[in-house]
Amino acid sequence: MADEKKRLSGTIPLGGILLLFIGVVLLLQNAHVLPWGLWGTLWKCWPVLIIIFGLGLLLRHVNVWITSLLALVLLFGCLGIAIWQYSPNMPGGIRVAGENYTYPVDGLKSTDAKIEFSGGSMTIGKTGRYSTTLIEAQSTHNGKKFLPATSSGLTMIPDFRADGTIGRFSLKPTNQQSWNSWNVGWNIAFSEAQSLSLNLKNDAAYAVLDMRDMELNRLDWEMNASNGSLTIPVSAKNSVLNIDMNVSNLEITVPDGAAVKIKTDANMSAVSIDKGRFPKQGDYYISPGYDTALNSVSLNISCNVSRLIIK
């Protein structure tokens, strides 16, 4: 009898409850019931984890199933609040304020960029065909809740300096507390004629990277509760792309003519790779002719409770 009572009480299985909750949300998003952008609003409810941990301590001598049920009620209550508060960034919406930054080439031969972005949508691609700029960064939003529309640095803090022939560029967010009301969008473009190394971090964001025509030398991309798409470069030489996904969704497109070598490390994740285009050889998925290709891309992807498609 004592053993049975001991089994019914104890520490709340917080890890299992969180995995169950995240799995249900991802399932509903894959079924197009919930939008992927909901993570940005849901993330604001993180203090509920502290409440659940406190419940586990206070009720550790009570039936663990009752405690777990209370934790699930709190989590799904937060989901309901997030759905109620969610305000999507509708295409074609009116934009009343924005920021623009441009940096000239000025003899520079390569760019080393570091970008952090959260709580909105962003695109990264190339500058116009006849552009003389090395980098173009633009931010748009549809409100001015805390700052006037003419203020500088509403949503982004850029920093740029020339280091020999290398342009070193960093971009960080500011005023994040107002982003959900502003529907912030970042549009960033790099010169396709320059070699690019990009370090990117996204938290609760939607990101589109079109690197098809870029001289992308290296990409280090961390995705946390984010959704995105990536088109890999076709003509870059010996590119290395490292992607770390945590509770995220990513679709990678490999254009015709690109030679890739793919390695994945998946933990409780859904991974779909076109094996017709990329036959498996040992631990890798490799394009035919990869070893003799003049231009190649090495893809190293870590997936934790995420969804990955490579096509």
Report the distance separating Cα 21 and Cα 191, nearest Å: 42
The mean pLDDT value of the chain amounts to: 81
pLDDT-derived band at 32, boundaries 50, 70, 90 = low
CB atoms within 10 A of CB 85: 13
pLDDT at residue number 131: 80
pLDDT-derived band at 13, boundaries 50, 70, 90 = confident
Q: How many residues does the chain have?
A: 311
Q: Which of 50-54, 212-216, 229-233 has the lowest mean pLDDT?
A: 50-54
CB atoms within 10 A of CB 300: 16
Mean pLDDT of 22-35: 76
Mean pLDDT of 32-58: 75
Phi and psi torsions of 156, nearest 5°: -140, 145
Looking at the predicted structure, is the pLDDT value of residue 244 above 80?
yes
Residue 133 identity: T
pLDDT at residue number 91: 38
pLDDT at residue number 33: 66
Helical spans, DSSP H, in the chain: 2-8, 14-30, 38-42, 48-58, 64-85, 179-182
Report the distance separating Cα 245 and Cα 211, nearest Å: 19
Tokens 């700052």 found at: 147
pLDDT at residue number 86: 57
Whole-angstrom CA distances from 251 to 128, 167, 184 are 25, 29, 22
SS3 per residue for 185-250: EEEEEECCCCEEEEEEEEECCEEEEECCCCEEEEEEEEEECCEEEEECCCCCCCEEEEEEEECCEE
Task: Give the residues across from 208 on adjacent strands.
Answer: 123, 229
Pair of tokens at residue 102: 């441009």
What is the pTM assigned to this prediction? 0.70
Contact call for residues 175 and 197 (beta carbons, < 8 A): no
pLDDT at residue number 148: 43
Mean pLDDT of 239-267: 94
Pair of tokens at residue 158: 């850029």
pLDDT tens across 69-101, in order?
888 888 888 887 776 655 444 333 434 456 788
To the nearest 5 percent, what fractions of the chain are helix, strand and coil?
25, 40, 35
Mean pLDDT of 273-293: 91
Most confident of 47-51, 141-145, 187-191: 187-191
